[in-house]
Amino acid sequence: MMSLQTLLAFTFSLSPALALNIPRQDNGSTAVPTMGSTETYTGQITWYNTAGGTGACGTTLSDSTAIAAVSTTLYDSYTQGGNPNNNPLCGQKIEITYTDEASQATATATVTVADRCGGCAPTDLDLTPTTFQQLVPEGLGVGRTSASWKFV
């Protein structure tokens, strides 16, 4: 019989990045954002530990870098020829704005698309811990919150 420690080590070795799996409060938007659009989208932001893994764009991820994982729905809608590394979303810049409900203070961060998020609704973004903390003053304990974003 396999020990719990061995089982956990094996399970985590299967994934290059460990996503914080916090369930959504709602079903999220079903509209798929359009790359290059000037439209502002609203979705949930959360954070994940990249574990120094390789993202869907084929680049090495870092928790201290301003990168984002977009929803699999969005990411896969742009994948061409079956190779996710050649996705035109890779390297695209996204500006995220978070508004604190209590103080109405806003914070903005610009991130680069480097990965995809399997648990995200079409307009959700998964961020590195550094970027999430830059936007949300309450910190990582918040886990998931609403924000708006657009391609820049």
The pLDDT of residue 40: 96
Structure tokens at 3: 């020990």
Alpha helices, H only, the chain: 4-13, 72-78, 129-135
17 domain-assigned: no
Any idea what DSSP says for residue 54? B
* Cα–chain center distance at 106: 19
Confidence band (pLDDT; 50, 70, 90) for 13?
Answer: very low
Inside any domain, residue 102 = yes
The CATH number covering residue 60 comes to 2.40.40.10
Angle 118-30-44 (CA atoms, 0-180°, nearest 5)?
A: 60
Q: What is the pLDDT of residue 17?
A: 44
Work out how many domains the chain is built from and give that number. Answer: 1
Q: Encode pLDDT of 140-152 as tens digits.
A: 999 999 999 999 9
Q: Which domain holds residue 56?
A: 46-151
List 67's β-bridge partners, or say none.
Answer: 112
Task: Kindly report the pTM of this predicted structure.
Answer: 0.79
Question: Would you say residue 68 lies in a domain?
Answer: yes
**Chain segment 94-136, per-residue pLDDT in tens:** 999 999 998 999 999 999 999 999 999 999 999 999 999 999 9
Q: Is residue 32 part of a domain?
A: no
Q: Nearest 5°: phi and psi at 54?
A: -100, 130
Confidence band for 1, pLDDT divided at 50, 70 and 90: low
